[in-house]
Amino acid sequence: MKKFLTTTIAVFLVAFALYYIFTDPEGTADVVRGFFSGIFGFIRALGR
């Protein structure tokens, strides 16, 4: 079950990122930067 959840989240994140890149190429750099800092913050919080 946990693997399924992880896969679903990963697919969703990839689709979301691609959607952003295609709809807003100009703002994508900022979004990606914020997105990754958010992901790393999330992983750090989970690791605690």
pLDDT value of position 7: 92
Which of 15, 8, 3, 9 shows the shortest CA–CA distance to 39?
Answer: 9
Which of 24, 40, 27, 14 shows the shortest CA–CA distance to 6?
Answer: 14
pLDDT value of position 18: 80
pLDDT value of position 22: 79
E strand residue ranges, 1-48: none
Give the integer Cα–Cα distance in Å for 19 and 28: 10
pLDDT value of position 36: 85
Domain ranges of the chain: 1-47
pLDDT value of position 29: 77
Q: Say if CB 14 and CB 20 are below 8 A apart.
A: no
Give the integer Cα–Cα distance in Å for 18 and 34: 15
3-45 pLDDT tens trace: 898 999 899 988 887 887 778 777 777 877 888 888 888 888 8
